[in-house]
Each structure stands twice: as C-alpha cells, then as structure tokens.
Amino acid sequence: MSNNFLVSLSFDAASPLWGKGALLSFSEAQATIHLDKQKSLFTQVQMAARKLESMSVQAIKLVGEHWDCELRWAFSQGLFDPKKGALLNFGDVDELQLQTLTSRKLIVEWVRNTINLGPEALSPEMLCEKAASLIKHISADEKQLSYKIISGEQLLEHEFHGIYQVGRGSVRPGAMLQLDFNPTYDDNAPVEYALIGKGITFDSGGYSLKPSGGMATMKSDMGGAATIAGALALAIVNGLQKRVKLYLCCAENLVSGDAFKLGDVITYKNGVTAEILNTDAEGRLVLADGLLAAQDDNPAKIIDAATLTGAAKMAVGRDYNCVLSMDDQFVEVATQAAKLQNEMLWRLPFEPFHRQQISSPFADIANIHSGDGMAGASTATAFLANFVKTPEKNWLHFDLSGSYQPGPNQLWSAGAKGHGVMTLSEIILA
C-alpha cells in the first residue's frame, strides 16, 4: 500500500465547492491541479506545489495524464523546502525523462542547499572544494577534468589583488577555483566558454557596514559562484562536448584591523588601478581577477554571474535575473535560453558612456559611480568592462537579482531558488 499523496492534472474547472477559479481540489489522499490554458501552465503547477508544501504533505507522487517533463520539473521547484528539499516521486516516466529530471533535481538542489548554508559552514576555500567535488562527481571521466585552488598569500603571487584585498579582513582567506573541463583530451584545444562566478561567502559590507536587515541574507552573496558551477555541471550531464573553464572568485568581506578601507587603491594584473569608495561594492573587485585569469586562455565567449547590485533588484525585483551586455546577438541567445527553460530574464542597459561614470581623481576608475542619478547595475558592469579585452562582443554579465528569496512567496520557498542554472546551462550547450 502506497504512502504517497497523489497529485494529478486537469483542464476542467474545480467544483465551486473549492472556491471560484480554485487551483486545487482534494479527494481523500489525492489533489487535482486545475489548469487554465490561457495562463502559464508552468507557473500554475509551481504555485500549486507551493500550496501543497505549505500544507506539510510529506511524500507526493505525480499521477495521471497531462504531465510532461517541464511540468514535473515545475512541481519539483515549487515543492522544495529548504529543510528537506523536495520529497517527490515523478511518477510513470520513461527512463530518459527520469534521468533528465533526476539530474536537474540533484544539481539545482545542490545549488539551493549550498547557497542556503550559513556562513560559518562555508568558507571561501570550502566553496571552491564543494564546486569542484560536484563537477568531479558528475563527470563521466575524471581525465576530462583538472582544477586547482589558489588561496591566501598565493593570490598575491598570481597577482589576484582584488580577491586578496577583499578577503584580507577575515581569518579565512580568499580563494580562486580554476577548473578546466576538457572533453577533447587535447591540451591545445580552444576554450569555448570561460565562466566566472562571484563567491562572497559572507558580506558584512566591510567598513561600509550594512545594517542588520541588509546583512541577514548575505550568506547568499556567493549565489553567482554556486549558480554558474551548477550550470556547468548540468551542461556536462547533458552531454557538453566543448572545452569550458570555470573561475570562482571567493572571499569573506568582513571588518577587522586587516580589512581593506575606503580610499585604498588596488592595482590589478592588467595595470588598471581602482579606488575604493565603498567597501560594500566588493563583488566587482573579485570578479575582475576572474575575468583577467579567464582571458589568459583566450576563450571564445565569456559569461560572469554574480549577485552584484541592489540596483538590479530595485529595477526588476526578485522575480527576474538581469543580463547586461553590448553584444545584442549574445543577449538574444540568453533571452531565448531563458524562455526555453521557463526562467525569467530581463536586459538592463549597458552602453559605452557608462564607463565614463566611474571616474576617480586618484586612480583609473572607482569602484562605484560618482554623482546622483547613475544606474548602479550598469556602472557596476562598466567597472567589469575594464577587465575584458573586447567588452563590446562575446561577453555577458548576469546580475542574479532573482537567485534568492528572503521569504516564501507563491512560487518559491524562502532562500535560494536555483533560478538561472537552467538558462546558463542552455547557453553553454547551444
């Protein structure tokens, strides 16, 4: 006898007994989701899963017709609980579909659970190790994979001054993961994609100290690193045959006698100098090192992902992720990938003139814009552009405004959402 609570789909309206336009109806140990064809089926199924999760239903099995792979995935996303994941039997599916769903669930839940870890449980070096272990675990052949972690004083030896300076206020040193996935087994094979992720495992704001309310969710400031590592892992599972390199730029941004300060000037490996006007604008400082390291390998395309600015959240809320780029064709690839994967992505402006808005009298650039009325997400991208050889083409910057939910809503539990993993993975595979 099954202990599963059964969930089916119907395109018939629910009985008025359950309320006008009810999404759910119930019969003993079974629920029916009543879908409206005029609305997003994916969204309706995810919302229904959230309602069932809030009722503390323990073990669910999907039954009946109308379920396809994407609707099963939508249900899994909504059912996720940060304490126990998503306890779900996908139902009667063929082997290929089950493999697809199981892989997604494994990797996206790894992303969500990693972001949800408290800062004491995840140092910069630990984040690097966790990401490398995930990709090693899912790789069919370990000979396709090599990696190294550069940390502490070694960062200075490699001239990764941004990560070092941001991380020096903590007793747990900053670190960079450099991972090479090379299914060609040819050391001279070209690098098709360089992926760079921001991994600030806790962000106090440094001497530009955040208030407690703003700091409470800052365990999630490594969301870019976890998301882009998960995207690479999912692409590998789905048959990636391109050489891809991953760079995670990880640090804790804390306050101490050793912490970097306002007025400091960082000199980067490419000679660019950056004045620090706000220690809470640290993500761009560490990403700069990753961008410079990536370009040593002359990748065909570059993607970075970061929970970079509050300005992006002000623009689109936490429902959308944002993409910024001057390469219209590459943006279109990203936009179509997001649509295909039922994720929400919005383009924010980035133009050459934004690069003139981060001037400094003491360095080549400042780490925040000067003056009022400037676009924060755009000027943050402008900072990064100083570390990309050809920022006009083949570079996408993702500001992951939709990666974390401080409290539950109709679609998501509190905490990390994994939103962006599917889009990034689809781009890499394209």
Active site residues: 210, 284
Closest CA to 104 of 273, 342, 370: 342
The rounded distance, in Å, linking the Cα atoms of 419 and 342 is 10
Q: In what order do the strands lie in the sheet with 30-34?
A: 24-27, 30-34, 5-10, 60-62, 88-89
The rounded distance, in Å, linking the Cα atoms of 243 and 227 is 19
How many C-beta atoms surround the C-beta of residue 77 within 10 A? 27
CB contact set of 95 (below 8 Å; sequence gap of 6+): none
The two tokens of residue 115 are 């972001």
CB contact set of 76 (below 8 Å; sequence gap of 6+): 49, 86, 88, 90, 101, 104, 105
* Radius of gyration (C-alpha) of the chain in whole angstroms: 22
The rounded distance, in Å, linking the Cα atoms of 138 and 142 is 9
Measured CA distances, 101 to 25, 202, 353 (Å): 26, 31, 44
